[in-house]
């Protein structure tokens, strides 16, 4: 397959900045860590951009690396043992930086799920990936993803009911 | 049953729509995008610069590669050769040699009947002492030169072995009594001990210090830091070299990145060092779970002094390996 033209890291940032940032926010517990993760992912992309043949490849690569970087972050002793007591993130729109006025009960409930459930819920709901695609990106069996989806939905339902 | 399923689908669908609505309002901050783009440009510039430098230095790089291969085995091989030569020279210069020589020489050679060459015992003794002084001087020079290379030591050993004629002279000049022979052996041993003491004095002049720490990849190329960070995924081994003595052991520590993490410092490895070693090659498996970043440092225990290395920033990142590809299988 011939390589698509115009695939550069800066263009990738323009196209997928929101996607990576939303995924980073769904994985991390505060905006500072999400910012760091966002930067790390795109800086890594510089070394790999020449190997990616299409924008679909770039998108899949970004999702996979964002998830892996977040896993590594939480695998560290320090991060495993310290829980930041930050309030729900300051959410921003494109013009740069104000707190969203609207309440976000569902997002808040998703943030309370364990990280692996957060990942599958976000990818399934928002990125609209199939179970097979999620399984490939997270390097798990499809059956594992399905069971994670099921448990995540059950937990989410309970959390939302509690909130309401 | 059917109603339950319908209810659940409706609930799931509404949760999904609500989640998408809420998440859709999130956008990456422009300042973050701007900062990231600047960092990306900087990294691209650096990669381009390194690429052009690599092309210019392609030939020396190959030479370095070959040297790296050689270097890995040269030190242990040289150390083994040195140990063998020291052992062999011990036989020639030490008690073992004298004993063997005494046993191999017939008794009549100790007590030569022909005493024409040295008419009196005093003359023989004086002649022998002159010869002994000459030998001591020669031995002292060798020690002063103190070049640890195997070739030089071999030369010293050979010169000792080649002095067969001298030994014959010595044999002629030996006193006529067995006590005299024993005294001669004792004198030689003393001279040898003096030489060793001189060598130790030379050693004592150098303060214990860590000479170098180098990281090697699987092809024995030196792994350089990228923006002051070493990628542990590339590192296969760590070579430490020191001077001014031999540490009894080496300890490897790691501190996670971040502020106030000193209490998280953990001991990764303690390695005992054999006497006389000047370097050690450590397996880099201990760095495998370095995660997003940690600071690595080494402690060399020289007995009277503990030498601590500087800190090395270590990151474990398989995605940054040059041969990792990076083309995802999905989509």
Positions in chain A short of pLDDT 70: 1-2, 76-102, 163-164
Rg of chain A on CA atoms, in Å? 16
Give the residue, A4 or B21, on which the prediction is more confident.
B21
**Could you tell me if A76 and B292 are in contact, meaning their C-beta atoms sit under 8 angstroms apart?**
yes
Q: Look at B44 and A53 and tell me if their CB atoms are within 8 Å.
A: no
Range with top average pLDDT, A44-48, A82-86, B54-58, B129-133: A44-48
- CA-CA distances (angstroms) from residue B184 to A7, A82, B284? 86, 75, 54
Closest residue to A133, CB basis, from B28, B35, B330: B330
Q: What is the pLDDT of residue A39?
A: 92
**For B266-272, what is the mean pLDDT?**
86
Q: What is the pLDDT of residue A61?
A: 94
**Tokens, residue A87:** 């309030």
Task: Give the residue ranges of DSSP H helices in chain A.
Answer: 9-27, 31-48, 55-75, 77-81, 105-111, 115-125, 131-138, 142-163
Q: State the pLDDT confidence band at B138, using cuts at 50, 70 and 90.
A: low
Query: Hey, is the C-beta of B319 within 8 angstroms of any chain A C-beta?
Result: yes
Q: What is the pLDDT of residue A82?
A: 54
Q: What is the pLDDT of residue B10?
A: 54
Closest residue to A43, CB basis, from B20, B31, B40: B40
Domain-wise residue ranges, chain B: 75-204, 207-320
Q: State the pLDDT confidence band at B128, using cuts at 50, 70 and 90.
A: low
Residue of A nearest to B10 (CA): A157
Kindly provide the residue ranges of all beta strands, DSSP E only, lying in B79-222, ordered along the sequence: 209-216
Q: What is the pLDDT of residue B36?
A: 92
Of the listed ranges A98-102, B215-219, B260-264, the one predicted with least confidence: A98-102
Q: State the pLDDT confidence band at B60, using cuts at 50, 70 and 90.
A: low
Q: What is the pLDDT of residue A9?
A: 92
Query: Hey, is the C-beta of B18 within 8 angstroms of any chain A C-beta?
Result: yes
For residue range B65-101, what is the model confidence (pLDDT) as tens digits? 555 555 667 778 888 989 999 888 877 765 544 554 5
Q: What is the pLDDT of residue B59?
A: 57
Report the mean per-residue pLDDT for chain B: 70
Q: What is the pLDDT of residue B141?
A: 54
**Could you tell me if B110 and B179 are in contact, meaning their C-beta atoms sit under 8 angstroms apart?**
no
Q: What is the pLDDT of residue A64?
A: 92
For residue range B236-257, what is the model confidence (pLDDT) as tens digits? 899 999 988 889 889 998 888 7
Q: Look at B12 and A153 and tell me if their CB atoms are within 8 Å.
A: yes
**For B12-37, what is the mean pLDDT?**
88
Long-range own/partner contacts, residues B167-172 (CB < 8 A, 24 or more apart) = B169/B131, B170/B128, B170/B131, B171/B105, B171/B109, B172/B112, B172/B117, B172/B118
Residue of B nearest to A44 (CA): B320
Query: Hey, is the C-beta of B227 within 8 angstroms of any chain A C-beta?
Result: no
Q: What is the pLDDT of residue A31?
A: 86
For residue range A27-60, what is the model confidence (pLDDT) as tens digits? 887 888 889 999 999 999 998 988 898 999 999 9
For residue range B30-47, what is the model confidence (pLDDT) as tens digits? 999 999 999 999 888 888
Q: How many inter-chain contacts (A to B, CB under 8 Å) are there? A: 148
**For B187-201, what is the mean pLDDT?**
46
Q: What single-letter DSSP state applies at residue B254? A: E
Q: What is the pLDDT of residue A57?
A: 92
Q: Look at B19 and A136 and tell me if their CB atoms are within 8 Å.
A: no
- CA-CA distances (angstroms) from residue B205 to A52, B149, B201? 58, 19, 7
Q: How far apart are CA A113 and CA A153, in angstroms?
A: 10
For residue range B158-188, what is the model confidence (pLDDT) as tens digits? 444 444 444 444 444 444 444 444 444 454 4
Q: Look at B41 and A92 and tell me if their CB atoms are within 8 Å.
A: no
Question: Which positions ≥6 away from B92 have C-beta within 8 Å?
Answer: B157, B160, B161
Q: Is the CATH number 2.60.40.10 carried by domain B207-320? A: yes
Q: What is the pLDDT of residue B331?
A: 32
* CA distance, residue B326 to nearest chain A CA (Å): 6
Q: What is the pLDDT of residue A16?
A: 94
Give the residue, B9 or B42, on which the prediction is more confident.
B42
**Tokens, residue A68:** 């892996």
Q: Look at B320 and A56 and tell me if their CB atoms are within 8 Å.
A: no
Closest residue to B31, CB basis, from A13, A64, A96: A96
Query: Hey, is the C-beta of B26 within 8 angstroms of any chain A C-beta?
Result: yes
Residue of A nearest to B12 (CA): A153
All structural domains of chain A, each given as residue ranges with its CATH number in brackets, are 1-100 (1.10.1740), 103-164 (1.10.10.10)
């Amino acid at each position: 397959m011939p390589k698509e033209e115009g695939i550069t890291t800066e263009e990738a940032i323009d196209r997928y900045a929101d996607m990576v940032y939303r995924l980073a926010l769904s994985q991390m517990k505060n905006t500072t860590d999400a910012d760091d993760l966002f930067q790390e992912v795109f800086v890594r992309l510089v070394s790999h951009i020449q190997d990616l043949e299409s924008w679909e490849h770039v998108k899949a690569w970004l999702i996979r690396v964002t998830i892996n970087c977040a896993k590594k972050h939480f695998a560290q002793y320090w991060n495993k043992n310290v829980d930041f007591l930050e309030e729900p993130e300051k959410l921003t729109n494109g013009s740069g930086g104000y707190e969203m006025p609207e309440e976000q009960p569902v997002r808040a409930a998703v943030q309370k799920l364990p990280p692996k459930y957060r990942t599958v819920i976000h990818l399934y709901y928002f990125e609209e990936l199939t179970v097979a695609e999620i399984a490939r990106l997270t390097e798990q069996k499809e059956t594992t993803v399905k069971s994670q989806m099921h448990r995540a939905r059950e937990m989410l339902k309970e959390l939302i009911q509690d909130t309401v | 049953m059917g109603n339950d399923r319908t209810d659940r689908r409706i609930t799931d669908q509404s949760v999904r729509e609500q989640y998408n609505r809420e998440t859709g309002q999130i956008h990456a901050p422009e300042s973050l995008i701007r900062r990231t783009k600047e960092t990306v440009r900087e990294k691209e510039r650096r990669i381009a610069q390194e690429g052009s430098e690599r092309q210019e230095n392609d030939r020396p790089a190959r030479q370095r590669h070959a040297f790296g291969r050689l270097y890995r085995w040269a030190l242990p091989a040289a150390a083994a050769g040195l140990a063998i030569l020291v052992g062999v020279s011990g036989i020639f210069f030490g008690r073992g040699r004298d004993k063997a020589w005494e046993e191999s020489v017939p008794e009549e050679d100790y007590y030569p009947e022909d005493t024409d060459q040295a008419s009196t015992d005093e003359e023989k003794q004086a002649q022998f002492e002159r010869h002994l002084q000459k030998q001591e001087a020669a031995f002292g020079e060798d020690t002063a030169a103190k070049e640890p290379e195997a070739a030089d030591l071999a030369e010293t050993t050979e010169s000792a072995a080649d002095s067969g004629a001298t030994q014959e002279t010595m044999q002629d000049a030996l006193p006529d009594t067995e006590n005299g022979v024993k005294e001669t052996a004792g004198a030689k041993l003393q001279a040898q001990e003096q030489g060793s003491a001189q060598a130790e004095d030379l050693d004592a002049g150098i303060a214990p210090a860590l000479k170098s720490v180098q990281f090697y990849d699987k092809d024995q190329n030196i792994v350089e830091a990228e923006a002051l960070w070493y990628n542990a995924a590339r590192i296969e081994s760590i070579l430490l070299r020191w001077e001014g003595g031999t540490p009894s052991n080496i300890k490897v520590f790691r501190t996670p990145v971040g502020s106030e993490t000193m209490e998280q410092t953990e001991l990764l490895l303690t390695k005992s060092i054999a006497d006389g070693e000047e370097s050690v090659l450590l397996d880099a498996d201990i760095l495998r779970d370095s995660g997003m970043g940690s600071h690595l440092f080494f402690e060399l225990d020289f007995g009277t002094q503990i030498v601590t290395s500087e800190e090395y920033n270590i990151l474990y990142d398989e995605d940054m390996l040059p041969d990792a590809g990076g083309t995802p299988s999905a989509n």
